Amino acid sequence: MKTKLYVLYGGKSVEHEVSLKTAVTVLLSIDETRYEVYPVYISRDGLWCTPGHLSKEDLTVERLIAEPAFHDPARSIGEILSGVMALPGPKVVLPLLHGSNGEDGTVQGLLELLNVPYVGNGVLASALTLDKAMSKQVLAQADIQQTEYKVCRFEEWRTNEEAVLRDVEHLIGYPCYVKPASLGSSIGISRCLNRGELLTGIREAFYYDNKLVIEREVVGREIQVAVIGNERPLASLPGEFIHDHTFFNYESKYMDKRLTMSIPAKLADGLTQRIRELAIRAYQAHGCEGLARVDFFLGREGDLFLNEINALPGFTNFSMYPVMWERTDGTAYSELIEKLIGHAIARHKNKQTLQYTR
């Protein structure tokens, strides 16, 4: 009997389009001799539905989008859970939901209650890694170096804008970056050179989140590492994008056709191994399982700062995460998906040994 593979994509998130692009690539790479694939689309309003069987021959982003039959989130989710995901036989879920309401532990909590294996990080690790402010506390506890930063909540900003601006200028300085605490794909991020830009950047970021992280700029290179595994994770060779953007924002990240990857990144002797070890330390400190991409800043003086951990990195066939593995150990894209499914099933099997009664 084939294993039923439920692929969740879309989502109530500003990273909705990124999820759709990821889903197309993943669905085209699934081995249908082993898996019976059930695509599940989650609309921008959080409604669940399915487009039904999708042929690989004409699979596009547009074909992935379905019209929900029910416009109440609870009923739409209930219909999918009872009518699609309750089918008998072995099953595994592949969540391809970037950002809020998918990468933050919410969907993971639902899948835990359903007691089904699912690819990627669990509830706590997903929540910690998406929330940059909480992640920074974990990294500090693990004694992993970061750049100077300040966390700003909306209530603090609403009641005393001037004090927040003074704090940033005194503690962080310019240039600085303003980031929504719980978003990815560089959405809502601003690089600020003066008070006027800082004011604009903070106001824009609060459209996306009620908590912000404001960081000092590190002038240098951004180095990335792919990590995979559960109890004994492995780190890939480091990589970096070669580009001439001062600020690597959403448009430059996803629309600049001139971007090139350098894998392995050209680093001084000993630094490659140090970065791989730090990536695993950070991964384990957050309790990650399955996969994550760990991003570092390498300053001009050789200082290494951990920037952030992405629990569901970009996963198209030209994204950094799968390409780093292909150039590290020859793992092809479809093989990487198989490995991740294997880690999901192994983790779930291990959890079934736990006792919930006395």
Please spell the DSSP secondary structure of 265-295, one letter per residue.
Answer: ----TTHHHHHHHHHHHHHHHTT--EEEEEE
- Residue 223 and residue 220: Cα distance in Å, rounded? 10
Percent share of the chain, pLDDT over 70: 95
Identify the band that residue 244 occupies on the pLDDT scale cut at 50, 70 and 90: low
Domains of the chain, first to last: 3-118 (3.40.50.20), 148-216 (3.30.1490.20), 219-349 (3.30.470.20)
Percent share of the chain, pLDDT over 90: 85
pLDDT of residue 336: 97
pLDDT of residue 317: 86
pLDDT of residue 248: 53
The overall average pLDDT reported for the chain is 93
Token output for 301:
């003086």
Determine if residue 194 is labeled as part of a ligand binding site. Answer: no
Q: What is the pTM of this model?
A: 0.92
Contact yes or no for 96/22 (Cβ under 8 A) = yes
Pairing state of beta strands 91-95 and 149-153?
unpaired
Identify the band that residue 353 occupies on the pLDDT scale cut at 50, 70 and 90: very high
Catalytic residues: 15, 185, 319
Amino acid found at 302: G
- Residue 332 and residue 112: Cα distance in Å, rounded? 29
In 3D space, the residue among 328, 221, 322, 327 whose CA is nearest the CA of residue 267 turns out to be 221
Q: Once rounded to an integer, what is the mean pLDDT over residues 243-254?
A: 56
pLDDT of residue 1: 83
pLDDT of residue 255: 54
Contact yes or no for 295/224 (Cβ under 8 A) = yes
Determine if residue 308 is labeled as part of a ligand binding site. Answer: yes
Q: Please, what is the Cα angle at 183 between 203 and 253, to 5 degrees?
A: 100
Q: Once rounded to an integer, what is the mean pLDDT over residues 213-221?
A: 96
Q: Once rounded to an integer, what is the mean pLDDT over residues 61-79?
A: 93
Give the DSSP letter of residue 69.
Answer: S
In 3D space, the residue among 221, 230, 241, 208 whose CA is nearest the CA of residue 132 turns out to be 208
Contact yes or no for 315/252 (Cβ under 8 A) = no
Determine if residue 121 is labeled as part of a ligand binding site. Answer: no
